[in-house]
Amino acid sequence: VERSCFGGGKPSEIKEDPKFTSSSCITTSSGENLNLLSSHIVAYHFCQADNAPTCLLPEFVHSISTQMSQAPQLSPYFQLLQSDQTIQARLSLASCNASPSQSLVTGILEPLNTLSSTGKIPASMCIIVVDGLCEAEQHRPDHGDTLASFIASHLQLSLNL
C-alpha cells in the first residue's frame, strides 16, 4: 500500500538490510516489479480485531467503494458516481448496512463492468488489498457471510459479469 497511490502516490525507496546478502534482499528488478504491482492497487482494507466495524461487511463495501473512486486508474468510476445519484445512494452507509451484497454488486461490480466493456477504464489488473481476514473471523456473525466468504462468493460473481 505504501507504494500505491494511497501511500503518497510515489514509490518509496527500497532499503537494503545489511544483514542480508544481495541474493536474499530485494533486487532492483524485484523492486521494480513491486512498484509495478503496487501501481495496480485501487483500494485496501485492514480488518482489526479490536475495531469491530473494520470486520463487518457494510464497512468493507463502503470503504472500498470510496477508495476506488479516488484511485487515479478508476477516474471514470469517480465521474460516474458524481453523475449517478442511484449508484451514490446504493453505496451510502445506510444502504451498505441494509444489503452489503446488493451494494457491492450494483454500486461497484456492475458499474465497473460497464465502464470496462465500454472502454472507459482499461482492461488492466486492479488490486484490492484486504489484510487481517483472520481477525475478521473473531467478529463472525451468527448467520450470513463472514468477510472472507463474502469476498469469495462475490469474486466468483465478478468473474461472471
Mean pLDDT confidence for 123-135: 86
Note every long-range contact of 7-11, with CB atoms under 8 Å and residues 24 or more positions apart, other chains counting: 7/38, 11/35, 11/38
Residue 19 has pLDDT above 60, yes or no: no
Bridge-based pairing state of the strands 41-46 and 127-131: parallel
* The model's pTM: 0.77
Residue 82 has pLDDT above 80, yes or no: yes
- Between CA 67 and CA 154 the distance in angstroms is 18
**Is pLDDT larger for residue 12 or for residue 147?**
147
The pLDDT of residue 17 is: 39
Strands (DSSP E) contained in 11-152 are 41-46, 127-131
* Residue 157 C-beta-side C-alpha neighbours within 13 Å: 14
- Between CA 145 and CA 124 the distance in angstroms is 29
Note every long-range contact of 87-92, with CB atoms under 8 Å and residues 24 or more positions apart, other chains counting: 87/111, 91/61, 91/62, 91/65, 91/66, 92/62
